[in-house]
Amino acid sequence: MRATLIIKNIDNLITLKGKDKPRIKEEMRDIGLIQNGVIALNEAEIIYVGKGELPENITIDDDTIIIDGKGKTVTPGLVDAHTHLVHGGSRENELSMKLKGMEYLDILAAGGGIHSTVKATREATFEQLYSKAKKSLDTMISYGTTTVEAKSGYGIGDFQTEIKQLEVARRLNEDHPVDIISTFMGAHAIPKDYNEDPDKFVDIIINEMIPEVSKRDLAKFCDVFCEKGVFTIEQSRKILLAALENGLIPKIHADEIESLGGAELAAEIGCITADHLIAASDEGIKMMAGKGIIANLLPGTSFNLQAGKFARARKMIEEGVAIALSTDYNPGSCPTENLQLVMSFASLIMKLTPEEVITAVTINGAAALGLEEKIGSLKVGKQGDIVIFDAPNLDYIIYHFGINHTDKVVKKGKVVFS
Ligand code: NIG
Ligand code: FE
């Protein structure tokens, strides 16, 4: 078979070969490392992964792109399975408030926080949102991210703005090399007009918004911010059940700040992931393990909220919960597109091993988006999404933190960043 692109002499080829399922416990440390590895693609598809030389049945010609992997570490394309990619404005004005000790939920309750991004997103045109999000995608791909989840949630009461965000994501998915998977998050904050009667807003989400998003095929997932002062457990349950009924896959911002029982609810409903989980209870973690719910952890948010607390990743792994790691890129609680920095936080602060970390941002990240059969590992038949890191080994990427180690990024068999 003809190869259109090959990477050879790879010092450390991290394949993540193994089952196309979320990995748990010691599976998270089995990264399928090949030293002196070689990988061949035919257009978007991986056709060979091995050690040493290519076998004779893989042919090359004058058009084959040949990349030398000497001194490099090669991994599957990184998956960022939790972002608020499309939004207007920025919130650096909150920095001085935070430094004075004002907390995230206080800023929100005072009408700032998410509400100020709602205003900026409503006022932005489609083109303005598109070009801001495109710039973020360019940054993400430069750090090795090849697949991204993008939530709505800055229209809230204004459904047209929610739709505008989802349409921007859809257009970018067509135009930009990064694949974008959309999530409807109308339940991101209670609009000010419904402060007196939040259940009325929940009814609108359930009866009007979710069916319309589903009918127009604008999102694969539905998310809710289940938190003290935002959506209660009962309201979140109703919304996520309505999502299920309408063919949207449920997921949840759970126990980010207060321990409300979000992890337990994720298990009860059968969410694909529960995200954040900084304050998740022992019982919630056990229930998630029992139901195979993926914990999508976002340590950049703990860092930026100055919460002094990180999700109990080691405990989750011990209990058998599969862990994914994402940026949570958004203008308030985590303004960074840099998934490599999140990988360093996960290891240096949450004590995950480099092997667990790379598993969390590849095959488990793919599983967090229901894409584990297509991406997340380097196996024959899978999509050719690959990162070439200018790093002698995996530990180096995590240890030498805060900089960009990407040398080249291959998406669907094409070099899209170098
Ligand atoms: O994941 N918690 C809710 N949503 C985001 C923050 C969004 C914002 O502050 O604009 C999060 O932390
Ligand atoms: Fe988030």
- The one-digit pLDDT tens for each residue of the chain (418 residues) are 999 999 999 999 999 999 999 999 999 999 999 999 999 999 999 999 999 999 999 999 999 999 999 999 999 999 999 999 999 999 999 999 999 999 999 999 888 999 999 999 999 999 999 999 999 999 999 999 999 999 999 999 999 999 999 999 999 999 999 999 999 999 999 999 999 999 999 999 999 999 999 999 999 999 999 999 999 999 999 999 999 999 999 999 999 999 999 999 999 999 999 999 999 999 999 999 999 999 999 999 999 998 889 999 999 999 999 999 999 999 999 999 999 999 999 999 999 999 999 999 999 999 999 999 999 999 999 999 999 999 999 999 999 999 999 999 999 999 999 9
> C-alpha angle with apex 56: 51 to 60, nearest 5 degrees?
95
Count CA within 13 A, CB hemisphere, residue 136.
Answer: 31
Using a cut of 0.90, tell me whether the model's pTM lies above it.
yes
- Of 117, 197, 212, which is closest to residue 163 (Cα–Cα)? 212
Q: How far is the CA of 9 from the centre of ligand 1 (A)?
A: 43
328 is in an annotated binding site: yes
330 is in an annotated binding site: yes
Report the pLDDT value the prediction gives residue 307, as an integer from 0 to 100: 81
- What's the longest Cα–Cα distance across the chain? 71
Report the pLDDT value the prediction gives residue 125, as an integer from 0 to 100: 98
Cβ atoms of residues 82 and 18 within 8 Å: no
Q: With H, G, I as helix, E, B as strand and everything else as coil, classify residue 122.
A: helix
Report the pLDDT value the prediction gives residue 110, as an integer from 0 to 100: 87
Tell which one of 104, 253, 260 to mutate to probe ligand 1, the residue whose CB is within 8 A of the most ligand atoms: 253
Q: How far is the CA of 333 from the centre of ligand 2 (A)?
A: 8
Atom of ligand 1 nearest to the CA of 332: 9
Query: CB of 113 closer than 6 A to ligand 1?
Result: yes
Atom of ligand 1 nearest to the CA of 114: 10
Report the pLDDT value the prediction gives residue 97, as an integer from 0 to 100: 92
Give residue 214's identity as a one-letter amino acid code.
S
84 is in an annotated binding site: yes
Report the pLDDT value the prediction gives residue 285, as an integer from 0 to 100: 98
176 is in an annotated binding site: no
Query: CB of 302 closer than 6 A to ligand 1?
Result: no
Q: How far is the CA of 161 from the centre of ligand 2 (A)?
A: 18
Q: Which helix (H) or strand (E) holds 181?
A: strand 179-187
Distances in Å between the Cα of 278 and the Cα atoms of 150, 296, 325, 396 are 21, 11, 13, 27
- Of 21, 28, 27, 8, which is closest to residue 360 (Cα–Cα)? 28
CB burial readout 334-345, b (16+ within 10 A) else e? bbbbbbbbbbbb
> How far is Cα 244 from Cα 247, in angstroms, rounded to an integer?
5
Q: How far is the CA of 334 from the centre of ligand 1 (A)?
A: 8
Q: What domains sit in the chain, N to C, each tagged with a CATH number?
A: 5-76+377-417 (2.30.40.10), 79-368 (3.20.20.140)
Dihedral of CA 283/286/291/292: which sign? positive
